[in-house]
Amino acid sequence: MVRASGLRTVEELSEEALRVHPKAMLTVAGRRLLVERVLAQGWPVVRAAEAQGVSAATAYKWVRRWRAEGEDGLADRSCRPLTSPGRLSADREQAILAYRAAHRVGPHRIGWALGEARSTVSAVLARHQVPRLWELDRPIGTVVRYQRQTLGSWSRSRSKAKGGSLRVVGTGCSAGTVPEGPGPSGTGL
C-alpha cells in the first residue's frame, strides 16, 4: 500500500530494506539459539547474552519478543516509525510564503519569526518553487538569469521584466546600465 505522501507502509518493505548488517551479532538463527538456551536449556539470561556476544538488555528483549509473538518475534523489523509527521496546513504554508514575500529573508529568520523549523520552511519554499535569495535582484526582487550573448560576454536579464533597464556585466562590454529597447542588432540586447 502506498500513502499519499509516496511512502510505503511497514508491511510492504522489500527484503533489501531488511537486510541484516554483515557484522550483526545476532541473526534470526542466533536469536533462536539465544532464546532456546534461556527457555529450553535453563541458562541465565546474562550468561546466554555473554555467550552470544550481546548485552543482557538485548537478550532480555529477544526473550520478551519470543514470549509475546513466538517465532515471528525473532524476525527482522523495520526501524522506520509507524507514523510520520504530517504536512503543514495550507494556512501555515501561506503564512510562510507571505512572510517571505513581505520581508525577503531566508528560512532561518522565517522559521524563527513563525515558530517553525528551518528545514520545514525550506521544504515549503522549495515545494512552492520560491527562488533562493541569492537568485534574486535585491532592489527589485525578481529572478536574475545570466545568459551568454556573444563569445566572451555575459548579460544579466530578469525573468519577469517589469520595466527599467538591464545591467550588462562581463567581458567585451562596459559595465553600466543599458536602456531597454532594440540595441544595435535590433534584438533588445
Query: DSSP characters for 92-121?
Result: HHHHHHHHHHHH---HHHHHHHHT--HHHH
Inter-residue contact 90 to 124 (CB < 8 Å): no
Please name the residue ranges forming H helices in 40-89: 45-52, 56-69
Predicted structure pTM score: 0.39
CB atoms within 10 A of CB 84: 10
Of the candidates 167, 171, 135, 139, the one whose C-alpha atom is nearest the C-alpha of residue 154 is: 171
Question: What residue has cell string 537486510?
Answer: 19
pLDDT for the residue numbered 61: 94
Low-confidence winner among 77-91, 115-129, 144-158 (lowest mean pLDDT): 144-158
- Residue 1 pLDDT greater than 90, yes or no: no
Domain 10-74 classification at class level = mainly alpha
Computed over every residue of the chain, the mean pLDDT equals 76
pLDDT band at 82 (very low <50, low <70, confident <90, very high): confident
Measuring CA to CA, how many Å separate 106 from each of 14, 21, 100, 103, 126?
39, 40, 7, 9, 12
Per residue in 9-61, pLDDT tens?
445 544 544 566 666 778 888 999 999 999 999 999 999 999 999 999 999 99
Burial class from Cβ neighbours inside 10 Å (0-12, 13-18, 19+) for residue 144 reads middle
Inter-residue contact 167 to 151 (CB < 8 Å): no
121 vs 70: CA distance, rounded Å: 45
| β-strand partners of 155 | 147, 168
| pLDDT top residue among 7 and 64 | 64
